Structure 1
Amino acid sequence: MSLNTIIQPNSDKLKNSLPDRITIAEGDGVGKEIMQATLSILEAAGAQLTYDKIEIGEKMYLNGHTSGISTDAWESLRQNKAFLKGPITTPQGGGYKSLNVTIRKTMGLYANVRPCRAYTPYVQSHFPNMDLVVIRENEEDLYAGIEHQQTPEVVQCLKLVSRPGCERIVRYAFEYARVNGRKKVTCMTKDNIMKHTDGLFHEVFREVAKEYPEITSEHYIIDIGSAHLADNPERFDVIVTLNLYGDIISDITAQVAGSVGLGGSSNIGDHISMFEAIHGSAPDIAGKDIANPSGLLHAACMMLEHLGQNETAAKIMNALLCTLEDGIHTADIASENYTQLRVGTQDFAQAVIKRIGQSPRRFKGITPTAVGDPISIKLKPTLPVKKELKGIDIFLDWTGTERNPDVLGRQLEELAGAELQLKMITNRGVKVYPNGMPETFCTDHWRCRFVSTQYLGKTKNTSATPTAPVTYLQLVQLLSRLHLAGLNFIKTENLYDMNDKRAYSLGQGE
């Protein structure tokens, strides 16, 4: 990681001669060991910090705090604004939500920033010139965690993507590139399949990119983009993507660079920021003094720059580079050719401390970055749209006659009424009525699309499909008829046109 590629510091902190007060949490598993190592290095380097320690994670879950964090801990985060966090474990089983996701969403930490650099030849990697940053949307997408079991056979997870959420992270990525001298921003989505959710992200990316003509912009479908990341990561500079994809590819890039144990990340919000290693709690090696503290140390250096303590951050990073050059390695990065001494967690920290003040010989030394204003994102107001109700998708839990969609279709046509008609039935997204294929496997979960009896249709899928006006009363009356007929509806989705364009997906085969 280069300090030239991390979040810009908060210049207001420099006006305060007192140490920066931060919140720390050791977390679970190896967290206590790597936090102890990291804090010892920060202290030896002269970091101007005071700590408020909070308890989070597995112990809090098991003591009855279902969120994994107490009310007092939340207050500490609000007061101190910066949070250095060790890895945590979410207990297996129902009733527990990821505390990482909870903190990011509750505190508005919308931007996850993960720099990734190769340290060849001292840490083995096939890509010696790899130096990229993954910027991941942190609050939306499937990580909203809204899931339901709807039938005995089918569960769903809602993928929520908002225009403000897309604009904020995309603008952040371009501002980050501009401030840090990066030349290219790459967007990755799956909008060839998810045309409305991922399609919105790509659309916003294209719009924002026009405002930064000096920065090259490009787009990849996430699958081929991930393949390129694994095969030739040196072609990338800044990558911006949705929550789930960013989580996956940031681990890919860290591993391709040499080790997930080296990666740190920042989670940036307008008021509070959190800094953490990207690896997990590794309970299988907890207490054995073999974990690599470098990931949390990287995160701590990102925090120091965020707080305006750039010189201290550079001093620590140069000492870390010297330690790697001298072949002093933990087990996860040890190699036959370049490891001179394999050490544990605390001895690695002492080796870094011993080299504070030294400059690397082979690696390019870190020069403290100039203190600047933090990145500030201003969103454009959302413009009003013309919104017209065009129909409804009603989802049924149905296991009728041999799960025959023709039987269900004929019954629904009789129940549709005078103003509405059944346009299609799908099962797991594939049209099975009318004129479905007998080979299509069907579960007990059916989407039944009703539109106006005056449905006209269009040949172009990108155009709206105009119908006679549909009213909410008609939809309520339809649901009442289905209920009286003994049909178990489990979910509904209204179908709208927005600005005369269809704002819902077609069924496969529709």
Structure 2
Amino acid sequence: MNAQLSPTHHGTPAAVPTPRTIAVAHGDGIGPEIMDAVLHVLRCAVPDLRIQPVVMGEAAYRSGHMNGILPQTWDALAQHPVLLKGPMTTPQGGGYKSINVTLRKTLGLFANVRPCVAYHPYVDTLHPGMDVVIVRENEEDTYGGIEHRQTDEVVQCLKLITRPGCERIVRYAFEYALAHGRRKVTCMTKDNIMKLTDGLFHRVFDEIAAEYPQLETEHRIIDIGAARMASRPRDYDVVVTPNLYGDILSDIAAEVAGSIGLAPSANIGLHGAMFEAVHGSAPDIAGKNIANPSGLLLAAVQMLLHIGETDAARTIHNAWLRTLEEGLHTHDLFNERTSRRCLGTREFAHAVAERLGQMPQHLPAVDYRQAPATPVQALQDAAPRARQDKVLEGVDVFLDWDEAHRDPNVLAQRLQAAAQDGLRLAVITNRGVKVWPDGHPNTFRTDHWRCRFKAVEGTLAPAQVPELLTRLLDHGLPAIKTENLYRFDGQPGYSVAQGE
């Protein structure tokens, strides 16, 4: 690591001047009390920082807004695109949408940056030297929330991975590593199974990695990668992942470092940013003045760096470190070895404010005076790529079919009788596993079937697809979904069946 940067230098500073007014959403559960605590410290460190309160969360849900955000809040965010947000509660069921997902996707906050640092010995950890940053793609993957119930027994969730999305987050991770004196970037996917979606992410990583020869790079399958994050996190430095893996991995890393309650999160886009604690709203302890505001306070430090308030960020962060090492701890961190006093939420914030200007004596101090430019400034729209030659060669037709015994041979006979000239039935799968031809008799089958038709001559006319669907309907086999099968520059753009 760059000698000028301490192990806890994890901000996202901006060189472009930004407004000194920030939007603030207090949140639900413990949100209001930890936000008040953080704002007390901010006002002491940056007296002229202006606050624009905005409403989102339970109050907005109760007023009938299913995404938890009032229309006037969107207007406020358009004027003040930097948001400090308390934890929110999303009601279960009923079509309610996650506020975080809505904000990230609507505002284009494509990069989620979560530093995970061990503060040994003041916070218990199995890995005293841990200092890892998870850079998570924030808009795509299964978090598109595109789900359907297709049969009585089967529901599906679409996983969407785009090349532009991969390029932005991977390049951001490399630029972050350079800006913060990091040595290595690790990509984690599951492309041994999801060869097209995760395979694209891995391929883009390899392409962009070639532009950064000064950095060490590696790829790991997410399962062993997550296991090693728990057992030997020193193997990692900056980790970049698709959305779902990053969500899980960053919680693992934060907890391994010592406490998820200390973990901050920055959500960065080209035109705005949102900062929050990683933890949830914890309604069971709300109003008891025992919640730890540290995660949100460290998120506020990231926010100050983002808007160019580097002196204030340094002062607050070092005061927090000094408070921690003096043994002034909230209930969740209190222990007989290193704690001197157990403080409430408000009292902890006052202790940090009283130490503004002081430096830690044992933990490494942070120094943001040489703060690098935010990586988002280095991102440019990807250069247009030449469109690949795209040829339709077949179609997957999905059926809801539940006849007695669910015999795929019976289904195959009906499908073959319905197929028009120029098409052949190539394979039938159930839950992705081949069941015809030559399927295994012990394969479990549901009422959801994928029936793959291929063009006999190798190329399928688009008009043949609706013609096939009409013929299937006439034979009592209505389709519930179709997926066209294409080749791109001669390479198949679809997966083969398991066992095919």
User: Please, what TM-score do these two structures have when normalized by structure 2?
Assistant: 0.97
Residue type at the aligned position of 1:475: V
Residue type at the aligned position of 2:66: T
Aligned pair partner of 1:487 in 474, 477, 481: 477
Residue type at the aligned position of 1:12: P
Between the aligned partners of 2:373 and 2:494, the Cα distance in structure 1 is 41
Structure-2 residue corresponding to 1:477: 467
Q: Deviations over 1:298-321 (max 9, x none)?
A: 000000000111011111111111
Determine whether 1:10 maps to 2:22. Answer: no
Between the aligned partners of 2:342 and 2:17, the Cα distance in structure 1 is 42
Deviation, structure 1 residue 5? 2.4
Aligned residues: 492
Between the aligned partners of 2:400 and 2:435, the Cα distance in structure 1 is 15
C-alpha change, 1:113 and 1:48, in structure 2 (3 Å) is farther
Q: Deviations over 1:365-419 (max 9, x none)?
A: 1112325543221123232100000100000001013211111011101111211
Residue type at the aligned position of 2:468: L
Q: Deviations over 1:52-88 (max 9, x none)?
A: 1011012211210111001110111111120000000
Alignment of 1:243-322 (within 5 A): 243-322=243-322
Between the aligned partners of 1:107 and 1:417, the Cα distance in structure 2 is 48
Structure-2 residue corresponding to 1:30: 30
C-alpha change, 1:47 and 1:253, in structure 2 (3 Å) is farther
Aligned pair partner of 1:445 in 444, 448, 460: 448
Contact 1:40 1:349 in 2 (8 A): yes
Contact 1:9 1:306 in 2 (8 A): yes
Contact 1:401 1:407 in 2 (8 A): no
Determine whether 1:58 maps to 2:58. Answer: yes
Structure 1 residue runs without a partner (length 5+): 14-18, 455-466
Determine whether 1:109 maps to 2:109. Answer: yes
Deviation, structure 1 residue 12? 2.2
Q: Secondary structure at the match of 1:424?
A: strand
C-alpha change, 1:9 and 1:47, in structure 2 (3 Å) is farther
Between the aligned partners of 1:444 and 1:313, the Cα distance in structure 2 is 57
Structure-2 residue corresponding to 1:422: 425
Contact 1:258 1:333 in 2 (8 A): no
Q: Secondary structure at the match of 2:332?
A: helix
Q: Deviations over 1:204-246 (max 9, x none)?
A: 0000000000000100000000000000111111000000000
Between the aligned partners of 1:57 and 1:229, the Cα distance in structure 2 is 33
C-alpha change, 1:366 and 1:372, in structure 2 (3 Å) is closer
Structure-1 residue corresponding to 2:3: none
Between the aligned partners of 1:411 and 1:251, the Cα distance in structure 2 is 50
What RMSD over aligned residues (CA atoms) do the two structures have, in Å?
1.2
Between the aligned partners of 1:329 and 1:3, the Cα distance in structure 2 is 19
Deviation, structure 1 residue 354? 1.5
Contact 2:8 2:131 in 1 (8 A): no
Between the aligned partners of 1:246 and 1:170, the Cα distance in structure 2 is 13
Between the aligned partners of 1:229 and 1:372, the Cα distance in structure 2 is 27
Aligned pair partner of 2:434 in 409, 431, 455: 431
Contact 2:20 2:49 in 1 (8 A): yes
Residue type at the aligned position of 2:452: R
Structure 2 residue runs without a partner (length 5+): 1-5
Q: Secondary structure at the match of 1:28?
A: coil
Alignment of 1:115-264 (within 5 A): 115-264=115-264
Q: Secondary structure at the match of 1:11?
A: coil
User: Identity over aligned residues, as a percent?
Assistant: 54
Residue type at the aligned position of 1:6: G
Deviation, structure 1 residue 3? 5.5
Between the aligned partners of 2:367 and 2:175, the Cα distance in structure 1 is 21
Between the aligned partners of 1:57 and 1:156, the Cα distance in structure 2 is 28
Between the aligned partners of 2:95 and 2:465, the Cα distance in structure 1 is 35
Between the aligned partners of 1:43 and 1:301, the Cα distance in structure 2 is 13
Q: Secondary structure at the match of 1:4?
A: coil
Contact 2:397 2:481 in 1 (8 A): yes
Q: Secondary structure at the match of 1:290?
A: coil
Structure-2 residue corresponding to 1:504: 494
Between the aligned partners of 1:331 and 1:374, the Cα distance in structure 2 is 35
Contact 1:37 1:346 in 2 (8 A): yes
Structure-2 residue corresponding to 1:457: none
Q: Secondary structure at the match of 2:324?
A: helix
Q: Judge which range, 239-248 or 413-422, deviates more.
A: 413-422
Aligned pair partner of 1:381 in 380, 384, 389: 384
Deviation, structure 1 residue 2? 5.1
Contact 1:47 1:309 in 2 (8 A): no
C-alpha change, 1:403 and 1:248, in structure 2 (3 Å) is same
User: Please, what TM-score do these two structures have when normalized by structure 1?
Assistant: 0.95
Deviation, structure 1 residue 330? 1.1
Aligned pair partner of 1:398 in 395, 398, 401: 401
Which runs of at least 4 in structure 1 moved beyond 3 Å after TM superposition?
A: 371-374
Residue type at the aligned position of 2:401: W
Q: Judge which range, 82-91 or 329-338, deviates more.
A: 329-338
Deviation, structure 1 residue 169? 0.2
Structure-2 residue corresponding to 1:460: none
C-alpha change, 1:330 and 1:41, in structure 2 (3 Å) is same
